[in-house]
Structure 1
């Protein structure tokens, strides 16, 4: 099923690349990335019955809602923007006449990143029920608390940013107020905290390798994604 999901992600990203090629708005890739993650999670959680039911419900519902909310927020921001995100505008300028091919490779790369960051959920969903410790409900409860707290914090911070940007007098200014000030500068705090839910849950299934993901996400948020 993982191969089928990879193909699905690639098709979606190629369609978004065509859209971005015609309207010069590459920011749609952010929406597609989070939407693909949500789709991968929902499909896998609903079509596999390997892991214990509470694990499947947690990942399918809680993680699915997390990325659906993120994609909805990014899409709302995409629609509200009057010009291309400066990150992608700079990329377009740097690539010059090779921008179409460059962005094609960029969108394909994003399809690969979807799978990379979906692997923790995949590992949890495909670990057989007999391989889970009997005390997994305890770590599941901890994971739920982490994700719920992160979800509430991220939602409030994102709404504060959206309201800030809707004020004409704030055009061109950087938001440094409210909860956003602490959640997004410098490391997207609540987004990062959310990624601790999976390795903590993985403790009950022997998936210790999942601890690499909070580190990996921090590196992406701090050094690659950038501070909006």
Structure 2
């Protein structure tokens, strides 16, 4: 597994390096997310298919995991690519561009390259799931499928709700607080995190203590989304652009995990 993780790391460093040139030429930091999503999907799917020792080819479970990784990557990557190509720069990167000033291109190098080892950590869970030794389809496999496919559908629903809200001229300048966005300020991030739980569900093997390392993916993804490059910079940018309207939204709606919205005091 270590050679596969090393190959993923090297490949992602090259992919994110290419992504830096593209986002620099396009003057749009949002291409960072496109390159990371497609790159992670491609490298992890290929790694999942790598034959195990003594096997002549990938097993049915390896093919299933590779297909799930590819489905996640294609759905999210294509959505982000279309948004980046047609719309303004993501508010997170626009805010960083404003804060970093002339150092933005240089500091983006580090921001982009650090995502390569993040992919390698996520790949640990994917590889353990792909190499789960049980020969037959188990309830755990079915549960993992349901979790990941449900997360893909949920994230797509959240993205579509936001897209429709922004497309309505009557909502210009307003904060989306309907549908899934009434229960969590970041339902798309929430479903993204939930999807990574599928891999340890499939991978965990009580006879193999190493399989507990498959929990790395959901832990890393939660940390990134909740406390890293997800919620904090996006919230800061939204407060800067929406002001008091977003602060009232923050007071009513959970930042991440879903709960019924509080009643407004205004």
Does TM-score exceed 0.5, indicating one fold?
yes
Segment of structure 1 superposing worse, 167-176 or 59-68: 167-176
How far residue 137 of structure 1 moved from its aligned partner, in angstroms, is 1.8
Aligned residue in 1 for 2:105: 100
Q: C-alpha distance in 2, partners of 1:18/1:188?
A: 27
What are the Cα deviations for residues 43-101 of structure 1, in whole angstroms up to 9, with x where unaligned?
1233435687232122111221012101111112212323x222212222322332221
1:85 aligns with 2:90: yes
Q: Is the 8 A contact 1:158 1:180 kept in 2?
A: no
* Selected match of 1:53 from 44, 54, 59: 59
Q: Is the 8 A contact 1:183 1:190 kept in 2?
A: no
Q: Is the 8 A contact 1:150 1:191 kept in 2?
A: yes
1:223 aligns with 2:227: yes
Aligned residue in 1 for 2:260: none
Q: Give the TM-score normalised by the residue count of structure 2.
A: 0.74
Unaligned runs of 5+ in 1: none
| Matched position secondary structure for 1:204 | coil
| Matched position secondary structure for 2:186 | coil
How well do the aligned residues superpose, as a CA RMSD in angstroms?
2.5
Q: C-alpha distance in 2, partners of 1:46/1:138?
A: 22
| The structure with more radius of gyration | 2
1:27 aligns with 2:9: no
Aligned residue in 2 for 1:209: 213
Q: Which runs of 4+ in 1 moved over 3 A?
A: 49-52, 133-136, 180-187
Give the structure with the higher percent helix: 1
Distance 1:152 1:186, change over 3 A: closer
Q: C-alpha distance in 1, partners of 2:165/2:17?
A: 33
How far residue 221 of structure 1 moved from its aligned partner, in angstroms, is 1.3
Q: Give the TM-score normalised by the residue count of structure 1.
A: 0.85
